Amino acid sequence: MPKVTFHYDGAASTVVAKDGSNVMRAAVENGVDGIVGECGGQAMCATCHVYVRAPYLSVLPPLSEEEDEMLECTAAERDGERSRLGCQLTLGGALEEIEVDLPETQI
């Protein structure tokens, strides 16, 4: 089962998710604060913005044009390739484990 670790304010919270789920769903379903997921994962709200930690950047799915555009609308500053939409990071396969930092705000 895929694992996601969320880092925020010096604390870390690791949750287990289902194969085929995504980083946004893993947060929302496990009550992790700091991810809103307002559009339900349609890449239309940017309230699931995360900063992916370096060791996991090489196993991420490619950035789609749609996701790239939404990342220009995040409430917290975009941080290069580390910035992704959690709802676009499908868990399982190459992405069995990931660690992300949460931005200061999503709204």
Neighbour count for residue 91 (Cβ, 10 Å): 23
Indicate the residue among 38 and 79 with the shorter CB distance to ligand FES. Answer: 38
**Nearest residue to ligand FES, by Cβ distance, number only:** 87
Instruction: Check the CA dihedral 39-51-93-31 and report its sign.
Output: negative
Name the residue nearer to ligand FES (CB basis): 10 or 106: 106
Closer of 25 and 99 to ligand FES (Cβ): 25
Two tokens at 27?
């947060």
Establish if 2 lies at the interface with ligand FES (CB under 6 A). no
DSSP per-residue letters across 55-105: GGGGGSPPPPHHHHHHGGG-SSPP-GGGEEEGGG-B-BTTBSEEEEEPPS-
Identify residues 25-84 at the interface with ligand FES (CB under 6 A).
37-39, 41-48, 70
Q: Which residues bind ligand FES (CB under 6 A)?
A: 24, 37-39, 41-48, 70, 85, 87
